Amino acid sequence: MLIRDCRQGRCLVARLDHGTDIIGQITDLAVEKGIKTGFLSVIGALSRAELGYYDQVSQKYGKIQIEEPVELVSCLGNISLRNGEPFVHAHAALSDRAGRLYGGHLNSGIVFAAELFMQELLGLNLERVPDSITGLNLWGEE
């Protein structure tokens, strides 16, 4: 188990731009504000999205394409470093017009309207590194 103490830094709220990629815009904001480690939450709506799921046996990601407008019911994630740059890792719950729910790793999504809360975390250096057991890029030892 990897456990690190940290302290809260800045809290940011942002309305994301219509028509942009949600992950790209959150990443750009983290870079612009110098946030290397943090927590995020987003609600809103996406015009379309791509979710991912991780097959633990094959250790490969599959994709779920959603080519219709969806509500971004919940999106939680974190920011840490990967190859020395801020990396956004987010999971989302999306609902379509019938109320069907889709969930998984948020690979991408085109913002219709979205509001972001970002909490900077200070006092730690979390770098994603390859994990030989899971095949994932997980937080590594400092």
Tens of pLDDT, residue by residue over 112-140, are 999 999 999 999 889 999 999 999 999 98
- Residue 54 in this model has a pLDDT that exceeds 70: yes
What is the pLDDT at residue 101? 98
Longest pairwise C-alpha distance within the chain: 46
What is the pLDDT at residue 46? 98
User: pLDDT tens across 57-112, in order?
Assistant: 999 999 999 999 999 999 999 999 999 999 999 999 999 999 999 999 999 999 99
Q: Classify domain 10-126 at the CATH topology level.
A: 60s Ribosomal Protein L30; Chain: A; (3.30.1330)
What is the pLDDT at residue 17? 98
What is the pLDDT at residue 4? 87
Q: Which residue has the tokens 């956004």?
A: 88
Rounded CA separation 24/88 (Å): 9
What is the pLDDT at residue 103? 98
Q: Which of 28, 18, 40 is nearest to 120 (CA)?
A: 40
Rounded CA separation 93/106 (Å): 9
- Residue 142 in this model has a pLDDT that exceeds 60: no
**Sign of the dihedral defined by the CA atoms of residues 124, 9, 84, 40, in that order:** positive
The total of other beta-carbon atoms located within 10 Å of residue 111's CB is: 22
Q: How far is CA 22 from CA 57, 81, 105, 110, 113, in A?
A: 29, 18, 13, 6, 10
Residue type, 29: L
